[in-house]
Chains A and B, each alone.
Chain A
Amino acid sequence: MSLYGVQKLIWQLNRDPRQRARFGTERDAVLDEYELSVEERAALSKPDIGLLYVMGVNGQLLMHYAALHNIEWLDYLQRMRDGLTAHGPVRAGVYAATGYEGIAAHDARLAAERQGGGRAAGL
């Protein structure tokens, strides 16, 4: 269980407004309903987005868990990077980091290519 339980809790929070409301008012009672390790329970409760990412929570679930806690998109991406620094590589699943220049540098490179006439917007 464990990682499956973490993901199931997040899935149910994403789908069910009543469960979301309960999570806000009686978080420990909601967490008691899932088979979670001490580490998982703490990461969910805080929430520690970086650790949840490293544990292997599917990104399509985790990004909504971050949004639920009003974590803005670029902050969400940074928290995952911080998680890698603090806890090491992703332990499970298919959402591992593979290395990227970053959106700002990527945008700048694409803009330079467009200015140089090397690329059209569209085919």
Chain B
Amino acid sequence: MPLVYSGVCSHGPGITGRADRADPVVREAFYAAFRDMGAEIRALRPDALIVLAAEHFANFFMNNMPSFAIGMADSYDGPIEDEAFLKIPKRRWKGDAALSRRLIERTMETVDVAYAEEWQFDHGIAVPLHFLRPDESCALIPANINCQGPPLAPLHRAWAFGEALRRAADALPQRIALVATGGISHWPATPDSGKIAEAWDREFMRRWAANDRAALLSYSDAEIYRDAGQGGFEIRTFIAAAAAAKGARGHVAFMAPIPIFAVTCTVASMPLG
């Protein structure tokens, strides 16, 4: 049946790992928006939640780096990061290998994806799940776009991946939701961690909420790197979520810079009717 949800959110490790150092007023407003997104998804009773992240070398390395990958296992462990670093305890998450396989087969009709029968969640998935708290009956399907190690798939291929996920989800009988996670502008894990191009972020999210394909795909990687940092490459996940929404317009529930979290913290969705 048709995809039931398409949304986007931030995933920086500081969101949980350095929570005590953020302005509490802004932090709590952000957390509340994050939890509201979880409630909204749970109310839709999805059978599965695709979490489309920009993985950070938890599973893939430069010896064999897929542009696009989808998990295909009955369970997943995470986070891979130490609890002392991320402040999220390790646990096992429910997957559904058979459902993943059907989703992958349909996605492959238009986009080549790697599949992974092992997948350790890193902060890109574990931080959002910490707030979204899907029902235990809901299977997780991790997915990844390489945003770390250039060469990167062009933005229009990220869009095509989102479209392919939508077609695949629509063709299956299960109720499937999608949340894409990433940063907008940011310079994470550099001496400039905390730097945020707020105006750039607001313009990107304006384009995202308008689901303006041409405007979203008009950035070059050189421009992104110059204006939004290497972390800005992660807009690929947001672009895929917009494509999966199939023309729906977006609602930005929360958007504010929190430097110790290294990003403009964002929670947004595209109502699918």
Contact = CB atoms under 8 A, between A and B. Distances in A.
B254 A122 contact: yes
A73 B148 CA distance: 21
Given A64-B81, A97-B190, A107-B23, A121 B29 contact: yes
A25 interface: no
B149 to A, nearest CB: 7
A44 interface: no
Contacts of A14: 57-58, 80
A99 interface: yes
B162 interface: no
11 contacts: A11-B61, A14-B58, A15-B120, A59-B230, A97-B190, A98-B190, A106-B194, A107-B23, A110-B259, A122-B256, A123-B253
Interface in A67-120: 67, 73, 77, 80-81, 84, 94-103, 106-107, 110-111, 119-120
**Interface residues of A toward B: which range?**
35 or more
A96 B190 contact: yes
Interface residues of B, number: 45
Contacts, number: 104
Given A60-B56, A111-B23, A103 B81 contact: no
Given A61-B57, A103-B194, A122-B254, 16 more contacts: A8-B62, A59-B230, A64-B81, A81-B191, A95-B230, A97-B190, A98-B190, A100-B192, A107-B259, A107-B260, A110-B23, A119-B256, A121-B29, A122-B253, A122-B256, A123-B252
Contacts of B80: 14-15
Interface of B: 14, 17-18, 23, 25-26, 29-30, 33, 56-58, 61-63, 80-82, 84-85, 120, 148-150, 187-196, 225, 229-230, 252-257, 259-260
A111 B85 CA distance: 27
A123 B33 CA distance: 11
B192 A98 contact: yes
A54 B256 CA distance: 31
A60 B187 contact: no
Nearest to A122: B254
A33 B6 CA distance: 45
B58 A95 contact: no
Nearest to B150: A94
A87 to B, nearest CB: 13
A8 B61 contact: yes
A60 B112 CA distance: 26
A107 B257 CA distance: 9
Contacts of B191: 53, 77, 80-81, 84, 97, 100
A51 interface: no
A122 B36 CA distance: 14
